[in-house]
Structure 1
Amino acid sequence: MQRSGPLYTLLAGLALALIMLSLNATTGDVASSAPSTSSSPAPAPSPRASRTPPVSSTPSPSAPTPSTPSTASPRSAPPDADYAGRTADGAASVAVALRMGKAVAYVCDGRTKEAWLRGDVGDDGALRLTDGHGARLEGTLRGATISGDVRLTGLRQPFEARKAVKPSGLYRATASVRGAKVVGGWIVLQGGAQVGIVSRDGEPSAAPRIDTGSGAVTVDGERLTARPIP
């Protein structure tokens, strides 16, 4: 009986050792299956596929917008024609020749006052003519009539000139007669009346009548030809 005590002690020590070995083996398996804390961080999730793509800086071509045709027809220059008439007081006559959007006008009193004026004709029929020496003619073409105002030295009057029918209209002649420069201007009114001035080296005087059929006129014994404004 006294010998059984050491035997029991030995058996108890062996049992304890087996239990400890079993616990150590289980702990090692658990540690080996746990994820390592020293591994690299997981990559960031990729952008969502539904994200709106960046807008291209190059605009996409679009179909051209058809232009709307204008319903208003463009105005054209007034047709070529001659106009002749008088100032409101009857003291002077006025003639205007329209040629390809340009205008030439002649104003004279048949004695000493005269002016040749030039300028453009607006698409609306407006005329603003000058002679470069202060004379002016401003008017508007409406239908078959040009009306407005004329201004030159000693004369400032409204006027009206109606469309002329040949031989009425504006005539001019230039020549050298006996060494003098001669310039003549004639306004032939409806009904055959004529008003004109002939200047010799700038000195004005009443003009002789012209033959409206041929334009023939005699100045200081010389036969000249007065022609319509081209």
Structure 2
Amino acid sequence: MKRLGPVYTLAAGAVMAVVLGTVSATTSPTTQNVNAQDDTAATVAEATSQATPTPAAVRTAKPTPAKADYAGRVTGNGGLIAVSVRNGKAVAYFCDGRIEAWLKGKAADGKVTLSGRNNASITARLGGGKAAGTLAFGGRKWTFDAPVVKKPSGLYRASAVVRGANVRAGWIYLDDGTRVGLTVVNDEVADVAIPEPGQNAVVDGVEVDPQDVDEFIEGF
């Protein structure tokens, strides 16, 4: 029995060596497989990069003022024009003291586009402290440059019923004191004096209150 002891010890040692060897082989990192995965990821990334085109440059919209008032002279006509912008909506008025045109439309991408009765239209760029563009009306076209103006200059409108008659009036005031306007009573031009800035017009003995753009644009 004593002589068998070393045999058992060697056998146990051999078994232990085999077990340790197996454990070592199992826990050793598989460097080759890891590298293969890295190579695969790189290949996929490269293929994705080639397959996905670089997005084209996105066109940047030109700034449009949320609120602005412009007024100036119509070149070659002698009349005045006023354009006002409020949160994407635009209104305009052209008048030379004999004829007039009211227009409405939108303001976006740094310009205004408006239309009115009798095929009246306005297209103008907004920038550099002015509205510059073209007015078409009555089969003719004119250009204009209308700088930014501040109250009391700018556009005013009146709409009322006076002694049973429908009254509509429009006035434009420039910073240099120039002014123009027209009052229409039952669709006929009436002889009504242009009021001083901040004062009421008098139609058939009745005072009519001129409204600024903020007061009438929503219902226009």
Q: Same fold (TM over 0.5)?
A: yes
Cα deviation, residue 118, structure 1:
0.5
Paired amino acid for 1:100: N
Q: Does the CA contact (< 8 Å) of 1:171 and 1:229 recur in 2?
A: yes
Long gaps (5+) in structure 1? 1-67
Q: In the superposition, relative to structure 1, how do residues 143 and 106 fare at CA in structure 2: closer, same or farther (>3 Å)?
A: same
- 1:224 maps to what in 2? 208
Cα deviation, residue 76, structure 1:
5.0
Cα deviation, residue 145, structure 1:
0.8
Paired amino acid for 1:212: P
Cα deviation, residue 129, structure 1:
0.6
Are 1:147 and 2:123 counterparts? no
Paired amino acid for 2:183: V
Q: Does the CA contact (< 8 Å) of 2:192 and 2:201 recur in 1?
A: no
The whole-number CA distance in structure 2 between the counterparts of 1:94 and 1:188 is 10
Are 1:85 and 2:69 counterparts? no
The whole-number CA distance in structure 2 between the counterparts of 1:185 and 1:145 is 21
Cα deviation, residue 92, structure 1:
1.1
Q: In the superposition, relative to structure 1, how do residues 134 and 90 fare at CA in structure 2: closer, same or farther (>3 Å)?
A: closer
Cα deviation, residue 201, structure 1:
1.3
- 2:189 maps to what in 1? 204
Paired amino acid for 1:163: V
Q: In the superposition, relative to structure 1, how do residues 88 and 76 fare at CA in structure 2: closer, same or farther (>3 Å)?
A: closer
- 1:60 maps to what in 2? none
Q: Does the CA contact (< 8 Å) of 1:110 and 1:206 recur in 2?
A: no
Cα deviation, residue 202, structure 1:
1.4
Per the alignment, in what secondary structure is the counterpart of residue 110 of structure 1?
coil
Paired amino acid for 2:206: E
Q: In the superposition, relative to structure 1, how do residues 221 and 89 fare at CA in structure 2: closer, same or farther (>3 Å)?
A: same
Paired amino acid for 1:86: R
The whole-number CA distance in structure 2 between the counterparts of 1:165 and 1:173 is 19
Paired residue for 2:84, among 81, 97, 102? 97
Cα deviation, residue 204, structure 1:
2.4
Long gaps (5+) in structure 2? 1-54, 215-220
The whole-number CA distance in structure 2 between the counterparts of 1:157 and 1:191 is 22
- 2:164 maps to what in 1? 179
Paired amino acid for 1:174: S
The whole-number CA distance in structure 1 between the counterparts of 2:154 and 2:178 is 11
Percent identical across equivalent pairs?
38
Tell me the TM-score normalised to structure 1 length. 0.64
Judging by fraction of residues, say which structure has more helix: 2
The whole-number CA distance in structure 1 between the counterparts of 2:64 and 2:102 is 22
The whole-number CA distance in structure 2 between the counterparts of 1:152 and 1:71 is 37
Give the length in aligned residue pairs: 164
What is the root-mean-square deviation in Å for CA atoms of aligned residues?
2.6
Kindly report structure 1 stretches of 4+ aligned residues shifted beyond 6 Å: 70-74
